[in-house]
């Protein structure tokens, strides 16, 4: 009896300890009526690239602790809606994205794998509906699903006004400055799955009021994963209007030149011109040196003046052609009139008419005819 009581007490203690461990990562939701993402002011910031992110309510533009450059990429997937996005696709996309990123950073990431427990992961991917807590949604799956942070829930109007579709960034531990990256995806929207990353078109379209969008899952995951490394959006005011980059809100499955430069900066690698070999699809060259600027300027001037000279010559030739046609027409008309009005022409015409004057024949009876 005493042994049984001890066993019951020990068993209860074990269950309590397990529940406490689980409750540390239990599903928690935070309801907000105002969007935490604030407008970004960069007047005082002079940087080629911005690194920041979480917490969402503050942008740590000058705090370089908000970088995550792990040697081992260990991820955790918190998918509350596997019926909409299967976790196997998410897992394969993560491996494909990180393997491509690893090529650009000289294989600084030694391994990529899924964490055995949520506390061992340094990149967290959360799929939930921004409008409703998973514990309150009958369509969600909460069994064996854990989250490293509280899920922020907004009203539909706030989500619409702020265009909250996906987020990515860094959580900073204030005690030891360790970083954890979290990526969030609003499952209210439709994320499209593709198998052929090279030839399947990248789709990103929304309805007229922007309340519902159809987005390429791979492209969105790539964008948010780069946020997870600490890379912010590229500035909107750019000299090159044709500039393309994943972090310039360009839906693409391929990292562009500016994205590659940013991820190399995160890992402390050089960003020299030679790195442009990695980017041949959405290319953007590094700033030109003085000689290249001079050559580029001369090339533009030559093209400009050739165009102007060619256009001027064409216009002049057109005018000369019109003048020539008018002169020829006027000259020939004048010669014909002069020839017809001269005395010699009149006498020649009279002689010709007299010689070729037609005879008037009048046939009579018995084959007789009268010549007039």
pLDDT (tens digit per residue) in 135-173: 999 999 999 999 988 899 999 888 888 888 998 888 877
pLDDT of 6 higher than 70: no
- Of 30-39, 61-70, 286-295, which gets the smallest average pLDDT? 286-295
205 vs 58, residue with greater confidence: 205
- Of 7-21, 60-74, 95-109, 126-140, which gets the smallest average pLDDT? 7-21
Within 10 angstroms of residue 220's Cβ, the number of other Cβ atoms is 23
For strands 72-79 and 111-114, give the pairing: parallel
The whole-number average pLDDT for the span 328-336 is 69
pLDDT at position 308, please?
Answer: 81
- Of 23-37, 173-187, 232-246, which gets the smallest average pLDDT? 232-246
The whole-number average pLDDT for the span 21-43 is 66
- Distance between first and last Cα of the chain: 166
pLDDT of 273 higher than 80: no
- CA dihedral over 250, 155, 60, 236, signed as positive or negative: positive
Cα–Cα dist 67/180, whole Å: 9
The whole-number average pLDDT for the span 303-315 is 84
pLDDT at position 306, please?
Answer: 83
The whole-number average pLDDT for the span 164-191 is 87
Which of 22-36, 42-56, 193-207, 294-308 ranks highest by mean pLDDT? 193-207
Residue with tokens 């030559």: 302
What residue ranges do the domains of the chain occupy? 47-199, 200-286, 290-329
pLDDT at position 75, please?
Answer: 97
Cα–Cα dist 151/243, whole Å: 35
pLDDT at position 24, please?
Answer: 55
Q: Is the pTM of this model over 0.85?
A: no
pLDDT of 228 higher than 60: yes
pLDDT of 197 higher than 90: no
Residue 366, both tokens? 């018995």
Cα–Cα dist 62/50, whole Å: 8
Instruction: pLDDT band for 269, please (50, 70, 90 cuts).
Output: confident
The whole-number average pLDDT for the span 80-85 is 95
């Amino acid at each position: 009896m005493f042994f049984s009581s001890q066993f019951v007490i020990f068993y209860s203690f074990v269950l309590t300890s397990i529940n406490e461990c689980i409750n540390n990562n239990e599903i928690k939701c935070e309801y907000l009526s105002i969007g935490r993402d604030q407008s970004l002011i960069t007047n005082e910031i002079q940087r080629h690239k911005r690194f920041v992110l979480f917490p969402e309510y503050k942008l740590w533009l000058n705090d370089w602790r908000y970088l995550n450059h792990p040697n081992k990429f260990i991820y955790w997937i918190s998918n509350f809606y596997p019926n909409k996005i299967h976790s196997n696709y998410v897992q394969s996309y993560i491996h494909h994205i990180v393997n491509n990123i690893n090529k650009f950073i000289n294989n600084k990431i030694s391994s990529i794998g899924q964490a055995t427990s949520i506390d061992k992961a340094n990149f967290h991917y959360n799929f939930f509906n921004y409008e409703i807590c998973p514990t309150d949604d009958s369509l969600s799956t909460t069994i064996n699903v854990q989250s490293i942070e509280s899920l922020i829930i907004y009203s539909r109007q706030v989500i619409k006004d702020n265009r909250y579709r996906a987020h990515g960034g860094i959580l900073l531990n204030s005690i030891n400055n360790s970083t954890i990256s979290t990526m969030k995806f609003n499952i209210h929207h439709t994320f499209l799955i593709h198998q052929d990353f090279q030839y399947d078109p990248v789709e990103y379209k929304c309805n007229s009021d922007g309340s519902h969008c159809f987005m390429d899952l791979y492209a969105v995951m790539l964008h948010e994963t780069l946020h997870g490394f600490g890379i912010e959006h590229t500035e909107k005011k750019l000299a090159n209007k044709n500039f393309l980059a994943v972090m310039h809100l360009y839906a693409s499955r391929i990292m562009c030149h500016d994205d590659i430069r940013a991820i190399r900066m995160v890992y402390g690698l050089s960003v020299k011109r030679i790195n442009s070999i990695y980017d041949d699809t959405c290319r953007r060259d590094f700033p030109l040196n003085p000689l290249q600027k001079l050559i580029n300027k001369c090339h533009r001037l030559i093209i400009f003046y050739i165009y102007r000279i060619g256009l001027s010559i064409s216009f002049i030739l057109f005018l000369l052609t019109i003048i020539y046609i008018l002169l020829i027409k006027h000259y020939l008309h004048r010669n014909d009139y002069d020839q017809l009005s001269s005395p010699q022409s009149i006498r020649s015409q009279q002689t010709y008419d007299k010689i070729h004057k037609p005879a008037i024949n009048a046939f009579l009876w018995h084959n007789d005819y009268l010549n007039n």
